[in-house]
């Protein structure tokens, strides 16, 4: 029997046999999650000589939950994640025709998982649409609770939309066409500061050279423009000894970043898409509001082979849910075909979060070796010359062999 992870002195206290809630997910979820568990269990056994292990606790969400309880996201599942602090999940379907807008969004909001963390790196041998995919090695911190995720919308032609338009025109002098759909996107100092703080803390721990604030503040001056200003303010107030802005480098240090300082810079969102293609080595940590983060994380993943190898996590101050970043792909469900790489690498992030970095490094190295051996699932095999196509479980077994 395992033991619960606890929080002591603002830090995780991780037992040798932690209980980790797991949501198997919908569509290809069960296939990739079973493969993930095989790999993670094998890596822990090898890294720690049998002294540590994971006690998996299956909890329900999505189609399995609805079939059993007539609920897409039972309260007991959210409570289990809170109680055990760390969890991992497969992809979940989005209910059609009302109810919860998105199960993934609901989990993030209910647990206040305010940072969506998406690392992007290249594995040698994966076919990429860019010439030098190895140049991209960065991590994106996407604000997870505000912006469009907590946005309010009113459909064109509804009494609510007409009322809002009338108020904006009459009371505030806004020039809005009649019949418009209306949306509001909130961005707060509180939400921005805690997200940027987490990004800078990561940069300090991992010895990263810079944190870039990605925004569209030239147009949305009081939401995304404020995100930029609050981001710089966070760096000045919380990390004055370890950070320096681009402006300070130019004005005080003759254009040279002082030794031991992390550079805080900002880029417009449209420019950022060019930058990660043309000058990716200049970026290591990106902090951004929600919608920008959605776009840039998938775009960066495409440069290194796609979402099949893109891990992700949703993290609060302590509670964290690691997840596959791709969808449910129902036409491949139960066919032992899907690439489990995304959720396996999310498991590596989970190990890093627990402080079990040696087990995570074993997996990363073994996955890289397996791809170099051209033993891959169908999505990679169809792009590679001379590759051996294997199923989901067989891919996991090949990784375990290379541990």
Q: Is 326 annotated as a binding residue?
A: yes
233-248 pLDDT, tens per residue?
A: 999 999 999 999 999 9
Q: Is 256 annotated as a binding residue?
A: no
- pTM reported for the whole predicted model: 0.94
User: What is the spatial distance between Cα 59 and Cα 366, in angstroms, rounded to a whole number?
Assistant: 29
Which member of 112, 270, 317, 365 is catalytic?
270
Q: Calculate the alpha carbon distances from 310 to 35, 85, 119, 127 in Å.
A: 16, 23, 7, 14
Q: Does pLDDT of 128 surpass 80?
A: yes
Q: Is 108 annotated as a binding residue?
A: yes
Q: Is 328 annotated as a binding residue?
A: yes
Q: Does pLDDT of 95 surpass 80?
A: no
339-398 pLDDT, tens per residue?
A: 999 999 999 999 999 999 999 999 999 999 999 999 999 999 999 999 999 999 999 999
Mean pLDDT of 290-301: 95
Which member of 114, 122, 149, 353 is catalytic?
149
For residue 14, what are the contacts with CB-CB under 8 A and spacing of at least 6? Answer: 5, 354, 355, 356
Which member of 89, 294, 353, 369 is catalytic?
294
User: What is the spatial distance between Cα 278 and Cα 217, in angstroms, rounded to a whole number?
Assistant: 22
Q: Is 327 annotated as a binding residue?
A: yes
Q: Following CA atoms 219, 224, 225, 230 in sequence, which dihedral angle do they give, to the nearest 10 degrees?
A: 180
306-333 pLDDT, tens per residue?
A: 888 999 999 999 999 999 999 999 999 9
369 annotated active-site: no
31 annotated active-site: no
All domains of the chain in start order, with CATH: 1-119+313-402 (3.40.718.10), 128-144+187-304 (3.40.718.10), 148-184 (no CATH)
149 annotated active-site: yes
Q: Name the burial class of residue 18, with classes exposed (0-12), middle (13-18) and buried (19+) by CB atoms within 10 angstroms of its CB.
A: buried
User: What is the spatial distance between Cα 141 and Cα 198, in angstroms, rounded to a whole number?
Assistant: 8
* 115 sits in which H/E element: strand 115-120
Q: Is 378 annotated as a binding residue?
A: yes
């Amino acid at each position: 029997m395992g033991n619960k992870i606890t929080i002591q002195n603002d830090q995780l206290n991780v037992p040798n046999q932690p209980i980790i809630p797991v949501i198997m997910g919908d569509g290809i979820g069960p296939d990739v999650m079973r493969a993930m568990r095989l790999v993670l269990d094998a890596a822990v056994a090898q890294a720690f000589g049998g002294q540590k292990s994971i006690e998996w606790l299956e909890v329900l969400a999505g189609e399995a939950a609805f079939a059993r309880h007539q609920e897409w996201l039972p309260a007991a599942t959210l409570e289990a994640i809170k109680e055990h602090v760390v969890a991992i999940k497969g992809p979940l379907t989005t209910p059609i025709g009302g109810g919860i807008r998105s199960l993934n969004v609901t989990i993030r909001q209910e647990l206040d998982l305010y940072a969506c963390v998406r690392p992007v790196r290249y594995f040698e041998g994966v076919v990429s649409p860019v010439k030098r995919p190895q140049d991209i090695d960065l991590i994106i911190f996407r604000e997870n609770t505000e912006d469009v995720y907590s946005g309010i919308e009113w459909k064109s032609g509804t009494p609510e939309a007409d009322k809002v338009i009338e108020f904006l025109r009459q009371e505030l002098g806004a020039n809005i066409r009649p019949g418009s759909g209306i949306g509001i996107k909130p961005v707060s100092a509180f939400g921005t500061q805690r997200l940027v703080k987490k990004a800078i803390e990561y940069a300090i721990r991992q010895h990263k050279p810079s944190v870039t604030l990605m925004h569209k503040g030239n147009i949305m001056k009081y939401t995304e423009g404020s995100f930029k200003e609050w981001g710089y303010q966070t760096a000045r107030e919380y990390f004055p000894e370890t950070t320096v802005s681009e402006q300070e480098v130019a004005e005080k240090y003759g254009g040279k970043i002082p030794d031991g300082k992390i550079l805080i810079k900002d880029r417009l969102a449209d420019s950022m898409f060019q930058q990660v293609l043309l000058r990716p080595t200049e970026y290591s940590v990106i902090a951004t509001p929600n919608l920008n983060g959605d776009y840039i994380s998938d775009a960066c993943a495409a440069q290194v082979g796609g979402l099949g190898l893109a891990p992700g996590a949703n993290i609060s101050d302590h509670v964290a849910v690691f997840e596959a970043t791709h969808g449910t792909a129902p036409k491949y469900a139960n066919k032992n075909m899907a690439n489990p790489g995304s959720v396996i690498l999310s498991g590596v992030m989970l190990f890093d979060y627990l402080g079990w970095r040696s087990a995570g490094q074993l997996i990363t190295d073994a996955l890289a070796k397996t791809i170099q051996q051209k033993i891959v699932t169908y999505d990679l095999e169809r792009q590679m010359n001379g590759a051996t196509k294997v199923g989901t479980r067989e891919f996991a077994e090949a990784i375990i062999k290379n541990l």
